[in-house]
Structure 1
Amino acid sequence: MVVAKIVYASMTGNNEEIAGIVEDELQKYGVDTTVTEVSQAVAEDFEDADICVVATYTYSDVGDGVLPDEAVDFYEDLKELDLTGKVYGCCGSGDKFYDAFATSVDDFAKAFAETGATQGATNVKIDLAPEADDITALEKFTKDLVDKQAAM
C-alpha cells in the first residue's frame, strides 16, 4: 500500500483546508494518508512515507516572505534527510497583496530537492482560501503525485 504524509502550517485555517483537500484526493486513489500540523510533526516522519506533502503559508512582514515560525525547525530538519526514492509536493496559501506571494511553498520545494526526493507535481499556490479553480488545481496536483509515485 502507498503511504502519504501531509504536514501543514496554518494560521488562518486555509492550509488546514488545503491539506484536507489533498488528503481526500489521495484517499480516493487508495493512498494511506496521515495529516499532521507542523508543530506536532517531525521531519523524519517522511522517511516512512512514499509521498511527502507540505502545505504552508508564508509569513509576510513588510513585504518580505519568511517561513512560519512554527515551521522553521521542521524545515531545517527536513534538509538533513535522505529521501531518495520518495515523491514530494508542495502547496499552500498566500496573499497576493504581498510581493512575496507564497514563497514558503518554493522554500520547502527547494528543501525537498536537497533530500534527493523526486518532485511529483508542480507547486500549487493559492490566494487566500481555496476556491473552485484552486480545488481543481489541487486535484491535479494529487493525481500527479500518485502517477509519479506509481512510475517509480
Structure 2
Amino acid sequence: MLLVIDMQQRLLPHIDAGETLSRHCHALVRAAGLLGVPVLATEQNPRGLGASVEGLFVPNQRVIEKHTFDATLNDAFVAALPSPGDGVIVVAGAEAHVCVLLTTLGLLRLDYRVELVADAIGSRDPANRAIALTRAAQEGARLTTTETAIFNWLGTCRRPEFREALGLIK
C-alpha cells in the first residue's frame, strides 16, 4: 500500500523543495495506480489547510480527513489499512517531522512494516526533515526512494507496464 500524508494545497507552498516533493508524490501515486498498488491518503484539518493538491489522486483512491497528527489515532484510517503482515506500507507526504513521523511511529506500534520514501517527504525546515528521517529509521522504518519503491512494485522489466512506469521517474 502507498500512504500519502497531507499533501495539501495550503501547506505545500511552505515546504522546502515542495516542487520536488510534489513531483515525487505524483510519480508514486501514478505508479501505484498503474501497478495495482492500493493508495490511501490523509488530509489534516482540510478546512484550515485545504484539500489535497489538485490532480494528485483519482476518485477510487481513498482520502481520509483527520485532526490527529498520528493518523493511527483515527478509527477510519485504521479501518482502511490492510492487516499487519500483508506487505509493506510505503509512506510519503508532509510534514516529515509531524504527521509523517508520528503516523510512521503509530504504524510501527501496530506491527506494520513501513518504508519511508526519503525523497518524497518534506518539511518547512530541512533540519526537521533530517531529524524525522533519522528518528523513523531508529524506530524501525526502512528508508527508500521514489525510484526504488516504483521498481520494487514493478519487480521486473518484463512487465507490460514497465515503459510507462519508467516514464514517471525520468
| TM-score when normalising by structure 2 | 0.46
Larger of the two Rg values belongs to structure: 2
